[in-house]
Structures are given as structure tokens and as C-alpha cells.
A and B are shown apart, each in its own frame.
Chain A
Amino acid sequence: MKVIIVEDEMLLAMELEHEIQAAGHAVVGIAATKEQALELVRAGPPEFAFVDIHLQDGPTGIDLGRQLAKQGIPYVFVSGNIKKLPADFAGAIGAIEKPYTMNGMANAIAYLSDLVGGDDSGLPPASLVLAADALPPPRY
């Protein structure tokens, strides 16, 4: 997949880039703001995006996500506070909560790349909260 990363912490973005590359995908751009991300999309729509909620220009990740969804670009949120997400996940497939583990991220990428490729036979890993699962858990 051709992937963009939208993340304002450059160190985290860099390491995520390596993890995505290690899974066999190409990172075509890193953006720290909503505008930079939209610029990347205009330059050539990616096949997938990882989007943080809180960016350099504020909590603009959700609005960015809605625009990606409108353009048919599949994406997930990568955030330390997925509770901030609206109920519909702003059109995202799901969310990976920070701080994720290397294994958690690797499993999520594998599942997501299968899903985007049309194979939904796999089980979603624990590290990935799917939009449909975002309802409050049942009380025991």
C-alpha cells in the first residue's frame, strides 16, 4: 500500500514509518498538520492513512479524517485518546491506541492491509479498535 502518516511528533512518525515499511508498504509522505496532509492527498491520493487526532494545528485529525473518508481513502486513527473520537469514528476503519506495541502495530497493519485488499477473513487484533466495536463494553 502507498501510505501517508499524519502525526505531529516527528520521532513517533519516523518509527511508525519504519514499522510500515517493515510490513512491506511504502510511506509516501508524513504530515504534521491537517493542511500538510491535504496537500499530500492532492499531490497523489494514498491508498491508506494513519492519522493522529491531535496535530500541530490542534485537534484537527477528526476533521481531516472526515475529508479522507469523503474521498474514499481508508484510514485509521492512531491516538492516545480514542475516547475523543465521535461515535461514527469520523469514517475511519478503526483506531490504534497509543502507546501501541511493535507487535500490536505489526498485527494491525497486517490485518488492515488484508482488509483494504479485500480480504476480511482475518480476526482483528487486540491492538485495533474497529469502528463498529466502539460501543461501550457490556457490564459483567
Chain B
Amino acid sequence: MASHVREDPFAAAFKATRMPMIVTDPNQQDNPIIFCNEAFERLTGYSNEELVGFNCRLMQGPETDPDTVTSIREAVADGRDVAVDILNYRKDGNTFWNALFISPVRDEDGRIVYFFSSQLDFSNVKGKEAELAAARHKAEEAVAKRTSDLQASLAARSLLVHEVDHRVKNNLLTMASIVKMQARLTQDAGQRQALMSVLNRIEAISTVQRKLFTTDDVARFDIAEFARELATDLVGALRRDDVVLTLDLSPVYVPAVKASPLSLIVNELVGDAVLRGLGECGGEIHIVVKRRNGHFLIRVEDTSQPVEPDETSAEVSRMLLEASARQLEARIERRNEGARTIVEVTLLVEHEKDIPY
């Protein structure tokens, strides 16, 4: 048989190829190797004499996966092709990853006469694959840990923000309650008026705090929504049919830092108009909040009878307006058109803060 193979041009190719190959004989006891090429000798470190007559399992070792061995054994028993990746051992005990392909060779009657097997050492690829997998695993672990750290810190921060928000709200209401209590108890009308004027400003700031957190976006504040609540609450509480409030509002978002001074301005203007509307004949109050040419406009118009406010309140109101306007770099213009008093506040709004949702 050996001489037969030697004469065959296919056998010559088999011998010469760089692909390690063997042939086994299933018709002999334990399916021994009957031929191996030089490439196979180089791969395994065994010589032809050490291989021929032995079963291929001599290349298996303690780290070889028994399931892989089983799948080979079953394929051979069934006379099927099999392609597996298996960890094999060289003669010197070193391991290599072997991409093993085994296929039966049949005679004309379909009986299996040989098994042909080719091997490919892909330890290099396998090593890189393992390295890559390990690196990816490490990176994933690091990302997971970092994400969990960030989430924990975010949760803690969010909890803290809510706790602080809750305390600020409670404190504002407590301050308002103290002022209300004193206003209620005092016998002096002037004192009461002064306290109520303090309460009014505390409440304006309270409303800002409430509105800041009702939107999920803490950083922005809708001044139109603030004006609506302030004016409807103020006029609603008058319970007078002869004071008519009309609103022309569109959302104008301002950064949170501008919310308080801007709200104080709106509070002063609307409060002033309502105060003057309290004359004998009532009046109309019209409030506009909108954007105009990159500017932001608040206009309060009223047809109320002019009322002389007391000097201190007028001065406090003037100072609050002035300080708030300076802080915002806003312009306040007041004019009279017949019976109508018109106050306009204009300021530049940062454009990106003003983009609606």
C-alpha cells in the first residue's frame, strides 16, 4: 500500500504540502495512523515512526476539551465529516490550537476505507482572540463600574437637590408665615401695610422657587407662566368684577439665575397696576409677555385711576425695579396714553435658552 501511495501524483502532493495531514485506517484495531506527511511531523514534533500505528489521541492532553473529543469520536463512528477546534499537545508537551478536519474516504461500494485528516495550527489567532476577549472584558468591567459609580453619584446628587429644594420651599413658606402672623397681630395699620408689602415680595420669590422645579428643566424658567399665575391670583383674590384682566402671553424661557430679578419686576409692575385698579371705578389691566426681535418684552397696561401711593412703598418699589433692571441690563419705559398707563420692560435673551422644547 505504501508503494501504491508513493506512485500516485496525489500522494506526492499530499507528502509535499505545507498543510499537516494524516490518513488513518478504521479497519484496523483502534483506527491507527497509517500515513502522515512531513508538515504533520513538524507540527507535532513526532516522527513518522512514532506516529504510524498509533491512534491520534496521543495528541490529546489534560487541557483538551473532552466534549470536543466526543464529537470527533461520534463523527468517526457515524462516518461523517467533522470540523472542530481542539487543543492538542506536541511531543514536547506544548499545546497548540488545532483546526481539525476529518473526512471519511470510501471505496466504490461506499465502504469507508480510510479517514483523511488535515490540521491547521491557529494558536496565534486563538491567542489574539483570547487577548482581545480579555481586553474587552476588562474594558466592559471598567465601564460598568464607572457607570454604576456615576449613577450612584447622580442619584445622591438628585436626592440632595430635591432635599434642598424641599427645605427652601418650606423655609420660604415659614418666613411668609412669620410675616403673616405679625401682620395679623399688629394693631398698627401702617405696620401691617409694611409687613404685607414684605410678604408680597417673599411670595413672589416663593412662586419662582415653585415654578423652577415644576419644569423638569431646572435651568430654565418660563416668565410668561409666572406672570399668568401672579396676575390671575392677584386679581382673582380681589373678588371685583370691575377689575378686568387680559393676558397676551407666549412662553419665554430665561436662565434660572434671571428668574428672581425678572419675577420681582413683573411683581412690581402687576402689583402697581392692581393697586391703582383698586380705585372707585376699577379698570382694565393688560399684560403682554413675548419675544420681539431677539428681545424679550414685558408690557403692563392699565386704565386705572392714578392713586397716590405712600412715599415709602413707592420708594421701595422704585428701588426694587431699579436694582432688578440693573442686574438684568433691562430697560424700563413708562408712558401715559390718555387714561392708559403703559410700562414696557425689554431685555436681551440668550437665544439658545429661548428655543422651545
Contact = CB atoms under 8 A, between A and B. Distances in A.
Given A80-B166, A103-B234, A14 B181 contact: yes
Contacts of A106: 237
Contact of A125 (B174, B209, B236): B236
A126 B162 contact: no
Contacts of A101: 176, 203, 206-207, 233
A140 B181 contact: no
Contacts of B251: 140
B180 A127 contact: no
A127 B237 CA distance: 12
A135 interface: no
Given A9-B174, A12-B174, A15-B180, A99 B233 contact: no
A81 B228 contact: no
Contact of B180 (A9, A102, A110, A125): A102
Contacts of A9: 170, 174
Contact of B177 (A15, A103, A125, A139): A15
A80 B165 CA distance: 9
B169 A99 contact: yes
B173 interface: yes
Interface in A86-140: 97-104, 106-107, 110, 125-127, 139-140
Interface residues of A, number: 24
B209 A99 contact: yes
B249 interface: no
A18 B184 contact: yes
Given A15-B181, A106-B237, A97 B166 contact: no
B200 to A, nearest CB: 9
A104 B234 CA distance: 8
B210 A126 contact: no
Interface string A54-94: 00000000000000000000000000110000000000000
B214 interface: yes
A13 B294 CA distance: 46
A11 interface: yes
A99 B172 contact: yes
B162 A125 contact: no
A2 B199 CA distance: 28
A63 to B, nearest CB: 19
Contacts of A127: 229, 233
B166 A99 contact: no
B232 interface: yes
B357 A12 contact: no
Nearest to B233: A103
A26 to B, nearest CB: 18
A125 B234 CA distance: 11
B132 interface: no
Interface string B158-173: 0000100110011011
A103 B236 contact: yes
Interface in A7-22: 9, 11-12, 14-15, 18
Given A14-B181, A99-B173, A102-B203, 15 more contacts: A9-B174, A11-B181, A15-B176, A98-B169, A99-B170, A99-B176, A100-B173, A102-B199, A102-B237, A107-B233, A110-B239, A125-B236, A126-B229, A127-B229, A139-B357
19 contacts: A9-B174, A11-B177, A15-B176, A15-B177, A80-B165, A81-B162, A99-B176, A99-B206, A99-B209, A100-B206, A101-B203, A101-B206, A101-B207, A103-B234, A104-B229, A107-B236, A107-B237, A125-B233, A126-B229
